[in-house]
Each structure stands twice: as C-alpha cells, then as structure tokens.
Amino acid sequence: MTAALPAAGRPALMLASTLAIQMLATAATLSFAVLAPAIPGVTLTSVGLFLSLVYVGGMAGSLAGAGMVGAWGPVRASQLGLVAQAAALGMLATGVPELRPLAALASGLGYGPITPASSQILARTTSAGRMGFVFSLKQTGVPLGGLLAGAVLPPLAALTSWQAAFGALAATALAIAMLSQPLRATHDDAASGGFVLAANLRQMFGDVLGDRRLRSMAAVSLLFSACQLSVSGYLMTYLTTEIGIGLTQAGLIYAVAQGAGIAGRIAWGHLADMARAPRGVLILLAILMSAGTVATGMFTAQWTLVPLCLVAALLGATAIGWNGVYLGEVARLAPPGRVASVTGGALFCTYFGVVSGPAAFGYFAQRVNSLGLAYLALAGVPVLAAGLLFWGGRARPAARTTDFDG
C-alpha cells in the first residue's frame, strides 16, 4: 500500500488478518438480527434492544481500546475482542433468553477495540494522501461481515439449526484469533504492558471535542451510524414480515446490500483521495443515502427481485459505505501518535448513534405498525448530517497539542 509497509513485516498477511478480524467481528454483532426470523419468540423490539446493548458495550470497548492498544498492542487487543465475541455467540447458541442481554454487551465489548487497533497500525504505514482508500479497503471487512451473516447464516440455520449457526461462527472467530498470533512479534512490539484508562479518557475527549472539525465529524458519524444499523438490523425482518419475501431470497437481497457496501467503501475512499475533499464526498453520500431510504420505504410485494436488489445496492453503497472515508479523515486530523485515542473517542459518538438509532427506529416502526414508513422517516437523518458536514467544514480548528499517545 505504501513504501513504509514492508518495514512492518508481512503487510499482505497483516491486511488479510485485519480484514478477517473485522469481518468476523461484524458478522458476530449482526448474527442475532439476521437469524431473528428463525428464532422463536423474537420481536422487533427485542432485536432493537439487542443491537442497542451491543453498541452500549461497543461504546465502552472503544473507550478502552486505546488503552488496550497501548498496553498489549493492536493485535492482542483484536484477539481479545474476538474471544469476547465468541463467548457472546456461545451464550446465544444456548437459546436462553435471559442470556441475550449479557451476550449483547459482551459482543460489543469485543467489537469496540478492533477499529482503534487497526487504525493505529494503518496510520503508521499510510501517507495522508491515501488515507481514504486504505482505510476504506480495511473497512470493507464490515460489509463483508454483513455479507457473511446474510448469505451463510440463514442457509446454515435451515440445513442444521440456528443454534448450530451461532456455534459455527463462534468457532471461526476463535480460529481467526489463533491464526493472528504470529503477527504480534512485529505489531505489538511497542506495547507498554500497563493499562491506565483514566488518562486515556481525558486525552481522548479533549482531542475530539477540542477540534471543531473532529467534533462535527463525530456528530455526523452518530447520524450515519443510526442509518447504517437501521438497514443492517431491520432489513431482513422488513423483507420477510412486511414485504412477504422468503428467508433465503431476503438473505440474498441483504447480501447484495452488504456487497454494495464493500464496493462503495473502496470507491468512495478512492474518490475522496482523488478529489482531496472527504467532506464533499460524505455530503454526496448523505444525499444518496436519503434517496436510498426513501426507495426502500416504497417496497411492496409487487416489486420483483431485480429492482429490490438495485435499491438494496444503492442503500448498501451509501448507508454501509461511508465509514472508511470517515475513519481516514479522523486519522488525518488526529494529533501525531494519538490515532487510536482519537479514533476511540470519535467512535464513542458513532456507537451512541448505533445505540439510540435502532431502538428509536424499531419503536417508531412498532408505533406506526410499518417498517416501510420508518424507512421513509429515516430519510431526514442523512439530510441533517449533510448540513452538519457543510457547517463543520467551514469552521477553523482549535489548536492541538502533539503529545505521544503511549
């Protein structure tokens, strides 16, 4: 990716490992929502509550992520995240409803440190002019994880059981964690061995809140993430229960949305680098995202597979495709040496949108008795984000320090 990469040791293996970790982590967080139609007694409200609790855990995990990276290294932090998510999947596989809230929190705690860890690695080896593309490439692990969840878990549940689908995903997460172990020698060499959370929190929020550009980016991520999880968390249920599509075909449409998110992340990141205008690209994304949610809200049983997939592709390319441009810009604006810390602070706001967004979306849909109307109402959220991007980009940033993030 850059000339500095070979010095880090086996860059292709590192990229493959980072993508696999991100993919498995995302599939784990979405697995309950994807398999919900196959699990007896699961309601819209319980899906929304589960997703919200996942990202309550994710908020805590992102805050702890910078400290974990500094203390144990980015690879070890990622491995611990996968172990926590495997434990969460094991709890879900038991089928005990009372364990679901604990499983959701454990899954989020495991998910939180993964992005700050990978951002720290990439920021050390990527030039400022390629931040958008490189970070977007790594972030394709998120829609790949959604694609894995949508394309593999429903058929696996149909062939075996939904409990076995959870168990298989847990075993895969543990295998990825074990396969990442050799990378510690080259990427965890600067670990301090000491974990101090309080000092990291003060520095983290001081950096994000003290820079108006970072502050506006964090606010926009809150709105965008609410849209993203309303798509990832409810699209399967919307297609099967309200539009009347079978589980396997709905899984295909869901996979198309996630696949478009993969292509979108790479394309938007490349465009942001070429145009040297990441905020402008995010404004364009917001406009197209709003159009996609409107079209999704207009689905009916008369729509055929092709137009359903086309709209799903638009929605996926935008609502799922924005993260790499966002993370690349956050890393570019971060003080030297504090990318993991600033990323963790910004992701705290991102996860707050994920916590509140799906729950609010599910509550609204239940009140109006229509997920379609909920998707139509969701169109206003990215429009608000576009306004914040325009306003925040015109402001001058506050002065920042350049202390090293240990």
Give the alpha-carbon dihedral of 341, 344, 345, 349, to 10 degrees: 170
Q: Along the 406 residues of the chain, how does pLDDT read in single tens digits? A: 333 334 444 555 666 777 888 889 999 998 998 898 889 888 877 887 888 788 788 888 888 877 788 778 888 888 999 999 999 999 999 989 999 999 999 999 999 888 888 877 777 766 667 777 777 877 778 778 887 888 899 999 999 999 999 999 999 999 998 888 887 877 776 665 555 555 567 777 777 887 788 888 889 999 999 998 888 778 988 999 999 998 888 989 988 998 898 888 889 988 988 888 888 999 999 999 999 999 999 999 999 999 999 999 999 999 988 988 998 888 888 887 777 778 888 888 888 887 788 778 988 998 999 999 999 999 999 999 999 888 876 544 443 332 223 2
Number of domains making up the chain: 1
Short-list 314, 256, 309, 269, CA closest to 290: 314
First to last CA, the chain: 26
Which CATH number covers residue 269? 1.20.1250.20
Q: Measure the CA–CA gap between 364 and 44, rounded to whole angstroms.
A: 11
- Does any domain span residue 87? yes
- Does any domain span residue 186? no
Query: Under 8 Å CB-to-CB from 300, ≥6 apart: which residues?
Result: 243
- Does any domain span residue 380? yes
- Reported pTM: 0.72
Please give the C-alpha separations between residue 389 and each of 109, 286, 330, 336, 383, in angstroms, as whole numbers.
Answer: 29, 10, 13, 24, 10
Q: Measure the CA–CA gap between 171 and 4, rounded to whole angstroms.
A: 34
* Residue-range definition of the domain harbouring residue 268: 12-180+199-394
- Does any domain span residue 267? yes
Q: What is the pLDDT of residues 155-186, one digit of tens each?
A: 999 999 999 999 999 999 999 988 888 878 77
Token pair for 227:
């849209």
- Does any domain span residue 333? yes
- Does any domain span residue 99? yes
- Does any domain span residue 400? no
Q: Measure the CA–CA gap between 54 and 77, rounded to whole angstroms.
A: 18
- Does any domain span residue 404? no
